[in-house]
Structure 1
Amino acid sequence: MSRLGEAIKEYQEGFKNKVPTDIQRVMLEETKKLESEKLSKNALKVGDRFKNEEFTNIDGKNVKLYDYFGDNDFLIINFYRGSWCPYCNLELKSLQGYLDEFEKYNASLIAISPQTPDNSLSTKEKNELEFEVLSDIGNKVAKDLGLVFSLAKELRPIYESFKIDIPNSNNDKTYELPMPATFVINKKGEVIFSFVDEDYTKRYEPEEIVKILKDNLK
């Protein structure tokens, strides 16, 4: 099992031991419902084109996606739910550990969430991230990419009991969130890899992203 997979498994074991089973059951049921909707089938796929979308950086300034290519040939784009999501934090830390490998194969990395710029800054600082963390205010871009769903009403009081305040995190009362997603695009904006999953506990392994970059490097 990979390092990210091991970290996720370890977290899940701890979660099972400290969270009441009835709460776990509700969370699992809602995940299954979301999976049954098969929202990911509408998400951006390999061969599609990722537009030069606009986001907001941690300084509150508008920035363009393609600017983050720099001198590299590829851009890795990670959509995560927010700094309140333990699975997202595990994934971001794991991606940080592969930065040198990504650069070796001419790829830049950015992470995007619907959080406010201040909360994106907190994510960057908390996880000691050396790559850019951007805000997709109102999930505008994530909606265009087919990633957005609304958190089930049954889950909202559970999240609140965990001290998770999504409306405050996003400055948005809709409870809309992006499904975890990872894309790799080339300088033409073409998607050469796409991973989207309705189950927020599933994340794509950074070491597999390295293999994709290696296979596509000329």
Structure 2
Amino acid sequence: MPADIAAAMKRADAALAASDLVGSALAAGEFAPDFALPGVDGVPMRLSRALADGPVILSFYRGGWCPYCNLELRAYQALAGRMADAGVRLIAISPELPDHTAATVRDGGLAFDVVSDVGSEVARAYGVAFDLADELRPLYTRLGHALPDRNGADWVLPVPATYVVAPSGEIVLASIDTDYRSRLEPADAIDAAAAAAPGWRRAA
């Protein structure tokens, strides 16, 4: 990575870490706002309907252009059988347009729900959205990540955030980090979801 971009990203990362974003985001013990977002097939995925079938993991990720996000999504895919056995559903959420979301699903061989939060309204409702620093916008474009083109909106991104939601709608685990390289281990999220509603475990 060019030195000027690396230095700018370091400054922006420090400013985001110093903000109150993590402290103001939804936390464990609060209730998850309902939403309906389109999947790759264009059909809206509603959280409340998914919760009627058992616990849900919500994973906010930046986009298919982010290698750390792709690693996380593929790690969940590798644990798809474990999620099914535990009766746990995963919904991955990014601000990207459905065409880009579909490419992420196809390239990663993902078999779980991946939805588009164009405009970042759901990310804002959960308190995990932020405006990319002005300094970084031309640099992201130089790297081939012109976010308004990919997102159909603006320069808003979610920080990496994972919410485990019980069937009641209560958030039982919240993991939010301003460092885009840091993620909750998928296995830990699955274990927390399974513990939140053991009655939903699939019969052996």
With the length of structure 2 as denominator, give the TM-score of the two structures: 0.91
| Alignment check: 8 A CA contact 2:166 2:196 kept | no
Q: Over aligned residue pairs, what C-alpha RMSD do you find?
A: 1.5
User: What is the number of residues matched between the two proteins?
Assistant: 198
1:24 and 2:3 aligned: no
Q: Distance in 2 between matches of 1:214 and 1:119?
A: 31
Cα 1:70–1:130 change in 2 (3 A) is: farther
Moved over 3 A (4+): 213-218
Q: Counterpart of 1:100 in 2: which secondary structure?
A: helix
Could you say which residue in structure 1 is the equivalent of 2:123? 142
Matches within 5 A, 1:36-75: 36-69=18-51, 71=53, 73-75=54-56
Could you say which residue in structure 2 is the equivalent of 1:8? none
Q: Cα deviation per residue 1:111-152 (whole Å; 9 max; x = unaligned)?
A: 011111111111111111000110112111111111111111
| Alignment check: 8 A CA contact 1:35 1:198 kept | yes
Q: Which runs of 5+ in 2 are unaligned?
A: 199-204
Could you say which residue in structure 2 is the equivalent of 1:190? 170
Could you say which residue in structure 2 is the equivalent of 1:85? 66
AA matched with 1:206:
P
1:70 CA displacement: 6.2
Q: Which runs of 5+ in 1 are unaligned?
A: 1-18
Could you say which residue in structure 1 is the equivalent of 2:196? 216
1:38 CA displacement: 2.5
AA matched with 1:211:
D
1:217 CA displacement: 4.2
Q: Cα deviation per residue 1:131-188 (whole Å; 9 max; x = unaligned)?
A: 011011211111111111111111112211111121111111x201111110111111
AA matched with 1:24:
A
Could you say which residue in structure 1 is the equivalent of 2:185? 205
